[in-house]
Amino acid sequence: MLNINLKGKLAVVTGASGTMGRAIVRTLAQAGADIAIHYHSNVDQAEILLDEVRALKVRGVVVQADITELNSIMAMRDEIEQTLGEPDIVVNNAVIQYSWDTILNQTIEDYEGQFRSSVLHNVLMAKAFVPTMINRNWGRVIGINTECAMLNMPRQSAYVSGKRGMDGVLRVLAREIGEHGITVNQVAPGWVTSINKPQIDTVNKYCASVPLRRRGTVDDVAGVVAFLASDMANFITGAYIPVCGGNVMPSI
């Protein structure tokens, strides 16, 4: 039986105290990876998650940082290196939450927030963690994007613009550091269950557009992250992989 084995690897997951982040942490830990659990403000949830990780017999640490500020990320890096070592796997999952509105009504602050938490977040995490990956000639950078970057639906402009900028940064990064054995990929979830509880007619309308006729789960997404983090994905880089039941299909 083929299993994903991440024993001996150290992963840092941003936004790990959120719903998606928790699933990613659990899946990576189940595969044997040690985990640095990043949070911004929800320390209680991060501590609960740390207990779960340690129960799986892997090492873990909880770290706080503002993922839009270089000094904060560098301080987090130093704490991780001092407690667990140098990360092999970076999962950029955190993003600033805000209320969606039309372009004419969306605030400038929301666009700036999405730029900082989508684009700068990935830039700063690369600056902090990629140099040691280069030294070891092995590494994984995985960004959590979204199907919205392809759908371009009304009221999504701030989110879409941030995630499309993130896409550009990570594709360029894949070309820049590939020679060092480091892969850079993106996982793009659809509208997964457990993130929110909308009206049933809204859910039905969405599912009717999805070829698999359902919403995905956070575990569907976490499984792809674990695959990309493993040696089974050694020759995949620069990819944008939708995990959305076929709701978006990148063309050739």
Closest CA to 145 of 226, 213, 243, 232: 243
The tokens for 29 are 């830990």
| Dist CA 114 CA 98 (whole Å) | 9
Q: In 3-state terms, what secondary structure has residue 99?
A: coil
Whether residue 24 contacts residue 90, with contact meaning beta carbons closer than 8 Å, is answered with no
Whether residue 249 contacts residue 241, with contact meaning beta carbons closer than 8 Å, is answered with no
The CA distances from residue 46 to 10, 15, 194, in Å, are: 17, 9, 18
The tokens for 186 are 């993106």
The helix or strand, by DSSP H or E, that contains position 200, with its residue range, turns out to be: helix 200-209
Residues known to be catalytic: 159
The tokens for 36 are 């640095």
The CB density around residue 148, as the number of other CB atoms within 10 Å, is 21
Sign of the alpha-carbon torsion through 102, 108, 40, 32: positive
The CA distances from residue 225 to 140, 141, 144, 194, in Å, are: 10, 10, 9, 18
Q: In 3-state terms, what secondary structure has residue 24?
A: helix
Residues in contact with 131: Cβ distance below 8 Å, sequence separation at least 6, in sequence order? none
